[in-house]
Amino acid sequence: MHAKGVIRTLLAGTAAIVSAGTAMAQTAPGPAGTAAGTTVTNTAQASYLVNGVQQSATSNAATFVVDRKVNLTVATNQPANTQVSVGQAGAVLTFKVTNNTNGIQDFLLSTSQTPIQGLFTGDNFDVTNIKVFVDSNGNGTYDSGVDTATYINELGADQSAIVFIVADVPNVQAVSLAGVTLIAQVAAGGDAAAQGAALVPSLLANDDNAVDVVFADNDSDGLGPDIASNGYGRAALGYEITTRNVNLTVTKSSVVISDPVSGLLLPKAIPGAVVQYCLVVNNATLLVPASNINLTDIIPANTTYQPGSITIGGLGVGGACVLNGFPANDDGSAIPLTPFTGSYNAGTKKVTATIPTLLGGTSVAASFRVTIN
């Protein structure tokens, strides 16, 4: 191969047949097209008869140098936003940068947390300690300490690289969504050991013998800051808070409702007396609702659960139930007109009350009754 290549180069200026490349099947260029810097040479030949004698002629060789058509694609490489918890460190977003330039390029990487119009509604915080790394081993997963390169080095035409944004989520309860944009900029390739300088388009008239830079990238973000033909590409992903810590407390109290001797008047805790237990759950974290609260309590020994006595959604003050809530069915079915469910398991003697949502700064009470054996 090498020897033939040399011969072809030597002959390119004069021999039409050789420049045609008919000598061997050439691999077609990829979608990015003929590599920048390639010299395209055209030579024609003529044959004719003069006084019956066959003659031939060869034209001059017309040439031009293929210029650099700079293009890139930056895309998200995960199906949805990354779900994180408050205070999580080293949360990862994954992107893919593709070199659509007809040459080997470096890509400079940076980030922006400026909200993008219409893209991340509800963007209300910025992540901290934000870093950008390139996937070094091609496994598509961020490996801390392994994926350390901060720019894409020597990416071939039509090749892609996976890029990670790694950042910390602040320990603030009120946060919910942070949009982060990865910005890639096409830079000069050719130095395998260092980051190349950002490309700038050639403004001067073309020099046929030099490789000009022509920006051909699109506007990658619509209304966002990117514009067509600027050598930049952008894509955005969000950190979405799905797990928060709330300060949840449960206070339990009991009160004797009645006894067989005194009835409702100053009842005593004697056998046969009815005791009501009150569980008050309080969410002390303002603005952050608690989800899917399950209150469970196993009834005390030597007592018998009073069927149908569970109430949920009552008002509790200072750990005592001042108002009973909605009576629940013991089978766990939904209580009409409320989000609550309550159940009693006779086998385990466990009372369960489910409260789907408890808003920050509020409390809700649940109660049940037992009879002292």
Partner 1 sequence: MITRPMTAAVLVATAAAASAAAGPLQVSSSILVEARSAAPDGTTRVTLVKPTKVTPGDKVIFVLAYRNSGAQPLANVVLDNPLPRQIAYRSANPGSPAPDVSVDGKTYGSLATLRVRSPDGSTRAASPNDVTSVRWRLASPLAAGSQGQFAFQAVLK
> Which residues contribute to the site for partner 1 (CB under 8 A)?
3-4, 7-8, 11, 14-24, 26, 28-29, 32-34, 36, 38, 40-51, 55-69, 102, 202, 205-206, 208, 212, 214, 216
Q: How far is the CB of 97 from partner 1 (least distance, A)?
A: 20
Are the beta carbons of 157 and 179 closer than 8 angstroms? no
Closest distance of CB 53 from partner 1, Å: 10
The three-state secondary structure class of 3 is helix
Q: Are 158 and 32 in contact (CB under 8 A)?
A: yes
- List the beta bridge partners of residue 367: 278, 311
Using the minimum distance from each CB to partner 1, give the nearer residue, 31 or 90. 31
Q: Which is nearer to partner 1, 69 or 244 (CB)?
A: 69
CB nearer partner 1, residue 214 or residue 257: 214
Output 205 or 337, the one with its CB closest to partner 1. Answer: 205
Distance of closest approach, residue 54 Cβ to partner 1, in angstroms = 8
Give the residue with the Cβ less far from partner 1, 60 or 139. Answer: 60
Name the minimum Å distance from CB 214 to partner 1: 5
- The nearer residue to partner 1, 49 or 193, going by C-beta atoms, is 49
Rg (CA), the chain: 37
Please check whether residue 352 is in contact with residue 312, taking contact to mean a CB–CB distance below 8 angstroms: no
Sign of CA dihedral 139, 140, 146, 148: positive
Which residues have C-beta within 8 Å of that of residue 46, sequence separation ≥ 6?
56, 57, 58, 59
Residue 200: CB minimum distance to partner 1, A: 14
* Distance separating alpha carbons of residues 313 and 363, to the nearest angstrom: 9
The identity of residue 159, as a single letter, is Q
Q: How far is the CA of 310 from the CAs of 298, 341, 342, 373, in angstroms?
A: 13, 10, 7, 19
Least gap, CB of 161 to partner 1 (angstroms): 21
Q: Using CA atoms, how far apart are residues 161 and 152, in angstroms rounded to an integer?
A: 7
Q: What is the residue type of 135?
A: D
> Measured from the CB atom, is 49 or 266 closer to partner 1?
49
Minimal distance, residue 18 CB to partner 1, in Å: 5
- Smallest distance from partner 1 to CB 66, Å: 6
- Looking at the Cβ atoms of 59 and 243, the one nearer to partner 1 is 59
Neighbours of 98 (CB within 10 A): 21
Burial of 194 (0-12, 13-18, 19+ CB in 10 A): exposed
Q: Burial of 313 by CB count in 10 Å (0-12 exposed, 13-18 middle, 19+ buried)? A: buried
Q: How far is the CB of 230 from partner 1 (least distance, A)?
A: 16
Minimum distance, C-beta of residue 73 to partner 1, in the bound complex (Å): 16
d(C-alpha 230, C-alpha 213), whole Å: 11
Euclidean distance between CA atoms 281 and 305, whole angstroms? 21
| Neighbouring C-beta atoms of residue 102, cutoff 10 Å | 26
Position 189, amino acid:
G
By beta-carbon proximity to partner 1, the closer residue of 52 and 79 is: 52
Rank residues 67 and 106 by Cβ distance to partner 1 and give the closer one: 67
> What gap in Å lies between CA 22 and CA 5, rounded to an integer?
13
